[in-house]
Amino acid sequence: MENWSLISLCVLLGLTARWAVSFHSYSGAGKPPMFGDYEAQRHWQEVTYNLPVHEWYFNTTNNDLNYWGLDYPPLTAYHSLVCAYVAKLLNPEWVELYASRGYESHSHKLFMRATVLFTDILIYIPAVLLYCFYFCDGSSKQKVATAFCILLYPGLILIDYGHFQYNSVSLGLALWGILGLGLGWDLFGSLAFTLALNYKQMELYHSLPFFCYLLGKCIKQGLTWRGFFHLFKISMTVLVTFALCWMPFLSDPKQPLQVLHRLFPVGRGLFEDKVANTWCSLNVLIKIKTLLSRETQLFLSFALTLLFVLPSSLKLLSKPTLWQFKLALVNTSLAFFLFSFQVHEKSILLVALPVCLVFNEIPLIATWFLLTSTFSMLPLLLKDGLLLPYVVTSLAFLFLSLYLLSALERSTEEELRLGLYRKLTQRWLPKLNLSRIIKWKFWFSLAAMAALSFTSVWLKPPAKLPDLFPVLVSVLSFLHFLGFIIYFNQVQLMEPQRKKSQKKTN
């Protein structure tokens, strides 16, 4: 069968899965007075349509920032404005100022879901397909299989089409950025990434690797005017894009400051709700939230993040190849997720995107990570009534990646890149079969996640510990993520400085 038909079948299946998940409930469904993220997005359409630009980020009589005030950069606002125009055509009640607060109807839900599908088809899916066809090794069937598995990653589907968000836009734009950089079109890549950054400020997690990669490339071009000129062109692209996106806000100096204040709420604490990062998990043992002052918390978070981010970034600076770039993206975003300030559980999607990109090279570990990332969001998904799609998509994803990409067969020590671990155990336990241990750990971990999912749904927590299951979920995920950050750092840092590489590098 020809390639185009296989690709179209995969895309059609991916779209069907997405739309089928969208039948289920969304965040805050039927829960006045605040509802959830779905209402937030609808409210932003209302605000951007009815109010002038200079009022969008300010607390005015018409715009109550306490009721889902805009806290994403301008591109999200423009996107909401476009959606609002369409909404007005279909049914003006959906974006009526004040009157439409808490508006819920079947046709409105269809409209909102359709907007997500539209941007997904436009931005994210083509990027995934292009990535798999240009940058994956193997036969064309293997490329299609990889694309299929990436398209069926449960976390993104459940959050975008279930909980309700537009992550496919920012992640898709970031992926276009990576594609651009991989193909050598640095300016296009920078443009795409800057747009992603202007859509969701969390993309800052990815910005350091982009910076180091581009800087490294410029340095490699020699410390001549060519390198500098290239750097200059990239910086100009970034600055111009920023200027264009922020243009309506540049007239008055108060505007950008207020926007930044909304984007980075340093007034909030170290973490909110249960999230699988260090601070929340540490809080279980010692109440650091109350023990340390806010300045100390900020400093500690900054220091640890820097500690984990530096080695990877420096290695990327010295060796700016695509493989290093992808690994650096994983390591940096995971470090930010684990140690940064005010992290939300959905931010794991920022780590999941680069892990999807190494799917083809390390399928087993990638599958493990992606399943863990979906599992870490379980409390959120249960609150939204998404148990059924969570179970079905996770099982389907596990099965597909094991079957189509032969994840379990491609797990020799060399394929799993366990170089350092092998060196460490060589001395004391030379006969240890590391790959078998990894496989056992994989199955054991899946069993633990399945068991915990089951108990979260069926059992009632004891009265003294009402948050027992969410805490257990986040602690278990945290331990996994800690293991993953050590592993991925090991893979990136231990890569030998080969001149002739067997993989396709850029």
Positions in the binding site for other proteins (CB under 8 A): 1-2, 5, 8-9, 12-13, 15-17, 19-21, 23-24, 106-107, 110, 117, 138-139, 141-142, 145, 388-389, 392-393, 395-396, 399-400, 403-404, 406
How far apart are CB 147 and other proteins at their closest, in Å? 13
CA 440 distance to own-chain centroid: 28
The dihedral over CA atoms of 324, 329, 333, 336, expressed in degrees to the nearest 10, equals: 50
- 3-state SS assignment for residue 343: strand
Shorter beta-carbon distance to other proteins: residue 13 or 260: 13
How far apart are CB 362 and other proteins at their closest, in Å? 16
Whether cis (ω within 30° of 0) applies to the bond prior to 33 is yes
Shorter beta-carbon distance to other proteins: residue 288 or 402: 402
Shorter beta-carbon distance to other proteins: residue 113 or 315: 113
How far apart are CB 431 and other proteins at their closest, in Å? 29
List, in order, residues 6 or more apart from 430 with CB less than 8 Å away: none
- 3-state SS assignment for residue 241: helix
How far apart are CB 390 and other proteins at their closest, in Å? 11
Shorter beta-carbon distance to other proteins: residue 23 or 185: 23
How far apart are CB 5 and other proteins at their closest, in Å? 4
Q: Residue 19, exposed/middle/buried by CB under 10 A (0-12, 13-18, 19+)? A: middle
- Quote the longest CA-to-CA distance of the chain: 72
How far apart are CB 419 and other proteins at their closest, in Å? 26
How far apart are CB 391 and other proteins at their closest, in Å? 8
Cα dihedral 412, 413, 414, 416 sign:
positive
Helices 294-318 and 322-339 sit at what angle, rounded to 10 degrees? 170
How far apart are CB 392 and other proteins at their closest, in Å? 5
Helices 3-21 and 106-119 sit at what angle, rounded to 10 degrees? 150
How far apart are CB 359 and other proteins at their closest, in Å? 14
Shorter beta-carbon distance to other proteins: residue 4 or 428: 4
Shorter beta-carbon distance to other proteins: residue 225 or 458: 458
Shorter beta-carbon distance to other proteins: residue 21 or 208: 21
- d(CA 129, CA 120) in angstroms, rounded, equals 12
- d(CA 58, CA 84) in angstroms, rounded, equals 20
State how far the alpha carbon of 380 is from the alpha carbons of 80, 92, 201, 457, in Å.
Answer: 24, 31, 21, 12
Shorter beta-carbon distance to other proteins: residue 2 or 295: 2
How far apart are CB 348 and other proteins at their closest, in Å? 23
Shorter beta-carbon distance to other proteins: residue 354 or 363: 363
Under 8 Å between Cβ of 476 and 402: no
Shorter beta-carbon distance to other proteins: residue 403 or 440: 403
The DSSP secondary structure of 372-426, one letter per residue, reads HHHHHTHHHHHHTT-HHHHHHHHHHHHHHHHHHS-TTTS-STTTTT-HHHHHHHH
Residue linked to tokens 């600055």: 239
